[in-house]
Amino acid sequence: MAILKIARMGHPVLSRRAEEVAEPTAAEIKALVATMIETMREEDGLGLAAPQVHVPKRVVVFFAPRAGAEEPEAELNALVNPVVEPVGDEKVEDWEGCLSVPGLRGLVPRYRRVRYRGVTPEGAPVDRVVEGLHARVVQHECDHLDGILYPMRMTDLSKLYFESELRHLKLGEREEVTVL
């Protein structure tokens, strides 16, 4: 396995719609997912979408907090051909970062609750309703598959900061900003 190079904002692969995967359980998809996970860990990301490693396919990997768990233990997910839809119309704002937009952090409104569906590289169907950070991560990663980066979801660009200047802000209870 290898660490893959991350495409950065401005690269065309990040602004086009990624293609559906015809065979989610194909060996090449399992290999892609394995290298994406390795790359995500190496870069300290919470999530990674295939276009971010120059592969225009609908594949995402992400860590998500385990629902109902008292410990903030993160569950590793890999999804092929994911589909996300809001549950309710409530939105919440929180800070996000992105490995394809290095050095910046922005305040991004997202749906509080979403339903997402897809299939794992092992062929298991996934159909979940989640909220909070888990819902945020899924929305951010699936946006990558449609050529959308988080600054495009921002409604107040005065809340786009260099990471090094975030110390001027009160971030609330969370000390670290997630990088997706």
Residues annotated as catalytic (active site), given as ranges: 141
Rounded least distance, CB 146 to Ni ion, Å: 12
Considering the complex, state which of residue 80 and residue 179 has its C-beta at the smaller distance from Ni ion. Answer: 179
Cα 87 from Cα 149, distance rounded (Å): 22
Minimum CB distance to Ni ion smaller for 25 or for 94:
94
Question: Least CB distance from residue 79 to Ni ion, whole Å?
Answer: 15
Q: State the nearest-atom distance from the C-beta of 179 to Ni ion, in Å.
A: 8
Q: Name the helix (H) or strand (E) containing 109.
A: strand 104-111
Which residue number is nearest to Ni ion in terms of Cβ?
Answer: 98
Q: What is the largest CA-CA distance in the chain?
A: 48
> Is residue 68 classed as helix, strand or coil in its secondary structure?
coil
Q: Pick left, alpha or beta for residue 107 (phi over 0 → left; psi -120 to 50 → alpha; otherwise beta).
A: beta
CB atoms within 10 A of CB 64: 20
| 8 Å CB contact between 98 and 114 | no
- How many Å apart are CA 122 and CA 125, to the nearest integer? 9
Contact residues: Ni ion, CB under 5 A: 98, 180
Residue 25 vs 56, nearer CB to Ni ion: 56
Minimum distance, C-beta of residue 38 to Ni ion, in the bound complex (Å) = 17
